[in-house]
Structure 1
Amino acid sequence: MTDIATIMRTSAVIPVLVIDDIATAVPIAEALVAGGLRVLEVTLRTPAALDAIRAMKRVPGAIVGAGTVVNADQFAQVMDAGAEFIVSPGLTERLAEPIIDSGVPFLPGIANAADIMLGMELGLTHFKFFPAEANGGLKALKALAAPFYQCRFCPTGGITAASAPEWLAFDPVLCVGGSWVTPKGATMAEVEAIARAASGFRGS
């Protein structure tokens, strides 16, 4: 099992995926991987999410994780589905402790200094800054990152193809999360092209 830092460095952009139709899961994963985005976050926002994780894991080269994990029951469900990493919108001890104990890579959401301090008390140094734009954008993250120099971040929430390169130019940002790489109604060829453009944001 790899660690969260390695996963975050694998792709400049982590697609945040809301899968409504299980039939689209594998084609979307194949298009994203072909475009150079191997790390895929399947959010637990639809009934198809767990089956999508199982299906996408069969795509060669894909690293498939579960997002929007908010409690221990969901953690157990996504582990049963084979999730390779866990992303949560926030951070609580009750959620974090079983995930940390399991050793699975974990990227919890933080919004302020208190969240980061809680994470560090739990032994964590890699966080999702969420919701990034609503929380003050890059200016806010730069202010937060200064006293927590040992921490690294994946801003998510409101990031676009236009703003992602600026976020990625800030050294503590290892990657960004975004839903723009799979716009509604896009063909798989279009998704692959968007992914290819996004994979080059960091020269990766």
Structure 2
Amino acid sequence: MTVSIKEVMTTSPVMPVMVINQLEQAVPLARALVEGGLKVLEITLRTPVALDAIRRIKAEVPGAIVGAGTIINTQTLKNAIDAGAEFIVSPGVTDSLLDAALASGVPILPGVITPSEVMRLMDRGITAMKFFPAEAAGGIPMLKSIGGPLPQVTFCPTGGVNPKNAVEYLALSNVACVGGSWMAPSELVDAGDWAEITRRAAEASALKK
């Protein structure tokens, strides 16, 4: 069954942004996050094992909605889709990437930081976007300002979002979810502390939208 961008944005209030360095960590990490209630997972293509991690999680973690992040061109898009990514996330967008993504039929969450970028994507029928890098690009005040003239767009802010400010982001009418990595920092993953990751995921999944 094909996932919709609405499902990606509304299934959980927080989307874990996952950097997987060791392939053997992929499945237990994903299981810990899903067990805590975070089912939508963004696997960033920043490591050599990322594509294989997507394949394994898809095969072995029931209930996970597995996407690929750091999609920066048509080749990384193809690689992610071939690996089974159910949605894709990009830090920004180019015409060639957008054309290929729309042609693929796989939901895309493209990154933006300015009203002009938002309007360009609206012209292509896209109204769900990643706001990145959120804190560096003006954070909550910027999203409030964009929401005035462009209320039909919904965002997933990522970049500098943490447990302290996530609630403030989620309180905005034009924010559906936030992306972050605080549930599974590298020290917990390397230590194999899946119980603590599940606990943090449960806290994040309980945040109110």
Quickly name the TM-score band, shorter chain normalised: over 0.9
Matches within 5 A, 1:51-200: 51-58=52-59, 59-186=61-188, 187-200=193-206
In structure 2, stretches of 5+ residues that fail to align are: none
Give percent identity, aligned residues only.
52
- 1:35-50 to structure 2, matched below 5 A, reads 35-50=36-51
RMSD of the alignment, in Å? 0.8
Question: What SS does the corresponding residue of 1:162 show, helix, strand or coil?
Answer: helix
Larger % of helix: which? 2
Give the equivalent residue in structure 2 for 1:202.
208
Which amino acid is 2:7 matched to? T
Return structure 1 stretches of 4+ with deviation > 6 angstroms. Answer: none
Cα deviations by residue, 1:92-112 (Å, 9 ceiling, x for unpaired)? 111011111121111000010
1:121-143 deviation per Cα after TM superposition (whole angstroms, max 9, x unaligned)? 11100000000000011001110
Q: Is the 8 A contact 2:3 2:87 kept in 1?
A: no
Return the alpha-carbon distance in structure 2 between the equivalents of residues 7 and 190 of structure 1.
Answer: 24
Q: Residue 13 of structure 1 corresponds to which residue in structure 2? A: 14
Matched pairs, number: 203
TM-score with structure 2 length normalisation?
0.95
Instruction: Indicate the SS of the match to 1:163.
Output: helix
Partners in 2 of 1:158 and 1:30 — Cα distance?
25
TM-superposed CA distance for 1:185, in Å, is 1.9
- TM-score, normalised relative to structure 1: 0.98
Structure 1 unaligned runs (5+)?
none
SS of the aligned residue for 1:185 comes to helix
